[in-house]
């Protein structure tokens, strides 16, 4: 076990994936000599060469569109979109081509492309640098959506995403990049598919009164809430895979606790929380002791950074929802 940041764990995971398969190529803005604006690809161009870690022109649709062609040639492109709010120029290529090519070609052309996107707020950034656009992609058939919440998960799931034959939109919680955790670098991500299935939710803390489902940057927030909660015992579930959602793990928990709070930074309207709530309601109608509650960002554009603490769910807002669920 090594203690490292999530940023370093992602870097180590990328390195390992590139060593394992020489068809893996990294492509994105400023990822070469600079190592990316968050330094996630730091040192990789130096070690693997400019042909495997390629600085791209400043054009997101171009990055994703050319990756489709590279995948057709047999490569496994791993793309970096510099910030969440800059993915939209590529939205057409992602939705119309990346997501649909395998289906369009009746299974003959897989699209093993990973689109890495640092996302979420809490870093005091200017506009377009704090968004949580995951629901757009989770809503799109043909894509898979993953988001790690700690260094160990990041180390494993980035490798599993790269090995996957389907396109994966990989959301990295940028405000957790510098959080440290234990990472077992000896573990083989691919051998671990059975025990550490990336498409399964993870119970990261067991509890008995209220299930709290969350993902990405909110996992730490919810764990802190669980620690602080004196009146209720919280079971915290890291959804991790936003598409496909692993509802079985959530439902198994709700069947014990009878209460569910879903937490995410993204706006609530038509978000992941709504999907989780609807599907849990369908399957847990008779076990629920309270309505499923959501704690989310508000349905406003991401606010100026001086206001973001009011927008982002925090420990108090999670506990407030827990109280309301318990009081029902």
Cβ nearer to other proteins, comparing 39 with 52 = 52
DSSP code per residue over 43-92: THHHHH-TTTEEEPPS-HHHHHHHHHHHHHTT-EEEEE-SSGGG-GGGHH
Least separation in angstroms between CB 71 and other proteins = 8
Known catalytic residue at 129:
yes
Of the candidate residues 6, 67, 261, 292, the single one contacting other proteins (CB under 8 A)? 67
Q: Give the count of residues interacting with other proteins (CB under 8 A).
A: 46
Cα–Cα distance measured from residue 217 to residue 146, given in angstroms and rounded to the nearest whole number: 13
Cα–Cα distance measured from residue 214 to residue 146, given in angstroms and rounded to the nearest whole number: 13
Cβ nearer to other proteins, comparing 112 with 173 = 112
Q: What are the helix (H) ranges across 139-203?
A: 151-163
Least separation in angstroms between CB 235 and other proteins = 22
**Binding status of residue 25 toward other proteins by CB under 8 A:** yes
Of the candidate residues 41, 93, 149, 152, the single one contacting other proteins (CB under 8 A)? 93
Interacting positions 108-167 with other proteins (CB under 8 A): 108-110, 141-142, 144, 164-166
**Binding status of residue 65 toward other proteins by CB under 8 A:** yes
State the burial class of residue 74 (Cβ atoms within 10 Å of its Cβ: 0-12, 13-18, 19+). Answer: exposed
Least separation in angstroms between CB 45 and other proteins = 15
The interface mask with other proteins, positions 217-246, x = CB under 8 A, is: --------------------------xxxx
**Binding status of residue 296 toward other proteins by CB under 8 A:** no
Length reported for the chain: 328
State the burial class of residue 73 (Cβ atoms within 10 Å of its Cβ: 0-12, 13-18, 19+). Answer: exposed
Catalytic residue among 51, 102, 129, 139: 129
Cα–Cα distance measured from residue 55 to residue 35, given in angstroms and rounded to the nearest whole number: 10
**Binding status of residue 195 toward other proteins by CB under 8 A:** no
Cβ nearer to other proteins, comparing 130 with 140 = 140
Q: Which residue has the tokens 């995403």?
A: 161
**Binding status of residue 97 toward other proteins by CB under 8 A:** yes
Least separation in angstroms between CB 247 and other proteins = 9
Cα–Cα distance measured from residue 48 to residue 35, given in angstroms and rounded to the nearest whole number: 13
What's the angle, vertex CA 161, arms to CA 217 and CA 144, rounded to 5?
A: 75
Cα–Cα distance measured from residue 72 to residue 62, given in angstroms and rounded to the nearest whole number: 15
**Binding status of residue 256 toward other proteins by CB under 8 A:** no
Cα–Cα distance measured from residue 227 to residue 315, given in angstroms and rounded to the nearest whole number: 10
Q: Which residue has the tokens 């299974």?
A: 107
Of the candidate residues 4, 40, 68, 222, the single one contacting other proteins (CB under 8 A)? 68
Residues labelled as active-site residues: 129
Where on the chain is the footprint of other proteins (CB under 8 A)? 25, 51, 56-57, 59, 61-62, 64-75, 89, 92-93, 96-97, 100-110, 141-142, 144, 164-166, 199, 243-246
């Amino acid at each position: 076990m090594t203690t490292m940041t999530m940023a370093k764990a992602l870097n180590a995971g990328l390195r390992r994936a590139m060593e394992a398969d020489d068809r893996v190529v990294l492509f994105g803005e400023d990822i070469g000599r600079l190592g990316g604006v968050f330094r996630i690809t730091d040192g990789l161009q130096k070690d693997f060469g400019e042909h495997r870690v390629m600085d791209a022109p400043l054009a997101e649709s171009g990055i994703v569109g050319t990756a489709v062609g590279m995948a057709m040639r047999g490569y496994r492109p791993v793309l970096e979109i510099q910030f969440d709010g800059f993915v939209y120029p590529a939205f057409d290529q992602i939705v119309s081509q990346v997501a649909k090519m395998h289906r369009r070609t009746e299974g003959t052309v897989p699209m093993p492309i990973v689109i890495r996107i640092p996302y979420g707020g809490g870093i005091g950034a200017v506009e377009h640098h704090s968004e949580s656009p995951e629901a757009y992609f989770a809503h799109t058939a043909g894509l898979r959506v993953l988001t790690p919440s700690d260094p160990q998960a990041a180390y494993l799931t980035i490798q599993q995403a790269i090995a996957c034959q389907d396109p994966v939109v990989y959301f990295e919680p940028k405000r957790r990049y510098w959080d440290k955790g234990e990472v077992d670098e000896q573990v083989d991500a691919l051998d671990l598919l059975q025990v550490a299935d990336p498409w399964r939710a993870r119970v990261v803390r067991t509890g008995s009164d209220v299930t709290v489902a969350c993902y990405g940057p909110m996992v730490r927030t919810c764990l802190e809430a669980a620690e602080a909660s004196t009146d209720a015992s919280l079971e915290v579930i890291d959804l991790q895979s936003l598409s496909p959602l692993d509802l079985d793990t959530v439902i198994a928990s709700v069947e014990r606790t009878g209460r569910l709070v879903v937490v995410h930074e993204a706006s609530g309207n038509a978000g992941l929380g709504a999907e989780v709530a609807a599907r849990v309601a369908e399957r847990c109608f008779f076990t629920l002791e309270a309505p499923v509650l959501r704690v989310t960002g508000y349905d406003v554009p991401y606010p100026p950074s001086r206001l973001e603490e009011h927008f982002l769910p925090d420990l108090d807002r999670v506990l407030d929802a827990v109280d309301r669920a318990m009081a029902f």
